[in-house]
Homo-oligomer: A and B are copies of this chain.
């Protein structure tokens, strides 16, 4: 028998490490210890199990060739022994053994190891507020809570639900329960917009609008202060700093934290705010102990700093790298940029790298541009609008972050994953302009919307493109006269009509094709805000006016399409 390897944690990184190890070093004795009954399941599929897109939980636990990934599967298929319902209590590093407890029998034992892997995952946060221990208050932590939640929902006992936390899981759960089960659903988010850290305001607002369009109520910038229950001890009310919400169910989606208790007790190095520290080989401060998955800190490629990024995709890749290293085949795990994607009813939203807010928090001299364009040739029947944003370093022009929203399946992934790949080379926005997005009318534009985003970023950094943000526009639109500003709308007359009716001579409509001939109609003593549907024609007109000596000209970014997508009505 070869080396003894003990792996603590049986969901993602752990099994991956064990199986890769056994493939490279079949003589190894690999044993996985997992406190739960279930192992190696697709935890990220839980919202889709709740929504019944995936009717049976077994599917989350099966291989692509329909075999349940249980103890038998790992033993007979992979040659890996798994102890479920077994908790690792302590690591004795000097004697290289792990104390374990069988949770069914209470029996304790020791496992000796040559190498140890910590894949202990994360722990869902629970708000420290009164009532958080009431009945029917859930976290989306594992398959057990998912089974309980779905059973409650399918019994038709839930009319109203409140989701605390408007991050990815909160939003996925909101869609799952409101769409399929027609539950009156409310999201309460403490930060001032949904999906903080992943999205800046405009994109978060588009997600909020999509949720609201689908009858999910969303309150942002609101703090949940307590939960109140009924006489059976089940939650009935959610009390925030602004309102009281009746409810039959609360799902707390307020983030997770690394489960690093064992590591800490064993004296391994962890980050200031938790999370096991590992080197490039995913080795901890003890050369015999590796760690991967949601219990470790990754290093951010863009900031060079450690960050906590609990993603199933990273966990799987960690597992493979650990497996290789265990087998004596040195492999490294590079810095990460953090890529994120979410389905929200009929839209897809994705991001990578730093949001502008995050970049500014890191004191990077950053800014951002936003474009609206089609995801395929504008004449191709299935085309749909894509909203894209690039966050850039103003000094170096380096790509720092990306955000995208679109309607067509995978159209966001195309641009998002391409930018993630470009980030690996530390490229600048200029590389985005000429990236060879494969072109055919059913899939992209000849000048793809991603290229156009690069062009816009370059124009912005070069001082050609002067942009007004939506927030600023909404501030000014209420009293254009006070700001001595007028709107110059280059849309067609018919599209502009309701705006002209509402805003009168503060809304000057000169269709795009007529502007060059009518320059003299545009006042020289006012601030000019150029607008169109998307921000493309209005940019051209901003430049045209600049070339005619107009200095105070600014272009509304994203145009009326963006405003509409953000759910804002100005007429």
For A414, list chain B residues within 8 Å (CB). Answer: 410, 413-414, 417
Residues of B within 8 A of A44 (CB): 377, 439-441, 446
Asked whether B26 lies within 8 Å of A513 as measured between CB atoms, the reply is no
How many copies of this chain are found per oligomer?
2
A153 beta carbon closer than 8 Å to chain B: no
Tell whether, in the assembled complex, residue B409 and residue A337 are in contact, meaning their CB atoms are under 8 Å apart: no
CA distance A103 to B412 in the complex (A): 46
Residue of B nearest to A78 (CB): B540
Which residues on B sit within 8 Å (CB–CB) of A62? 379
Whether the pair A317, B64 counts as a contact (CB closer than 8 A) is: no
Q: Which residues of B contact A341 (CB under 8 A)?
A: 438-440, 443-444
How long is the Cα–Cα vector from A455 to B532 in the complex, in angstroms?
47
Q: A411-B410, A447-B313 are in contact. Are A24 and B464 (CB under 8 A)?
A: yes
Whole-angstrom distance between the Cβ of A359 and the nearest chain B Cβ = 18
Q: In the complex, which of the residues B313, B409, B446, B492 contacts A312, with contact meaning CB atoms closer than 8 Å?
A: B446
Residues of chain B within 8 A of A234, CB atoms compared: none
Q: With an 8 A cutoff between CB atoms, is A155 at the interface?
A: no
- Indicate if A333 sits at the interface (CB-CB under 8 A): yes
Q: Are B53 and A381 in contact (CB under 8 A)?
A: yes
Q: Which of A400-428 contact B (CB under 8 A)?
A: 408-411, 413-422, 424-425, 427
Contacts of A12 in B (CB 8 A): 446
Q: Are A436 and B313 in contact (CB under 8 A)?
A: yes
Q: Which residues of the other chain, B, contact A339 by a CB distance below 8 angstroms?
A: 436-439
Chain B residue contacts of A547, Cβ below 8 A: 26-27
| A87 lies within 8 A of chain B by Cβ | no
| Chain B residues whose CB sits within 8 angstroms of the CB of A48 once the complex forms | 380, 441-442
Is A512 at the interface (CB under 8 A from chain B)?
yes
Interface hits, A493-526 → B, CB 8 Å? 512-514, 516-517
Contacting pair A417 B418 (CB below 8 A): yes
Q: Which residues of chain B are within 8 angstroms of A444 by Cβ–Cβ distance?
A: 313, 341, 413
Q: A26, A168, A409, A430 — which one has the most chain B CB atoms within 10 A of its CB? A: A409
Task: State the Cβ distance, A42 to closest chain B Cβ, in Å.
Answer: 6
Complex: A154 Cα to B275 Cα, angstroms: 67
CB pair B441 A45 closer than 8 Å: yes
Contact of A379 among B60, B79, B419, B492 (CB under 8 A): B60
| Interchain CB contact (< 8 A) of A424 among B352, B408, B422, B514 | B422
Stretch in A94-102, A239-247, A342-350 touching the partner? A342-350
Q: A341-B439, A377-B42 are known contacts. Are A65 and B424 too (CB-CB below 8 A)?
A: no
Contacts A348-B442, A348-B443, A410-B443 aside, 13 further interface pairs with beta carbons under 8 A come to A27-B547, A45-B377, A53-B380, A65-B537, A67-B512, A313-B444, A334-B434, A343-B443, A352-B436, A418-B421, A419-B421, A420-B436, A424-B435
Q: List 21 A-B contacts (CB under 8 A).
A: A42-B377, A42-B379, A64-B373, A65-B492, A65-B537, A72-B513, A76-B514, A79-B516, A312-B446, A313-B437, A313-B446, A331-B430, A339-B436, A341-B440, A341-B443, A341-B444, A343-B443, A348-B442, A352-B436, A414-B414, A420-B435
Nearest 10 A/B pairs, CB to CB = A425-B425, A410-B410, A421-B421, A26-B547, A313-B439, A64-B378, A341-B438, A339-B438, A59-B379, A339-B436
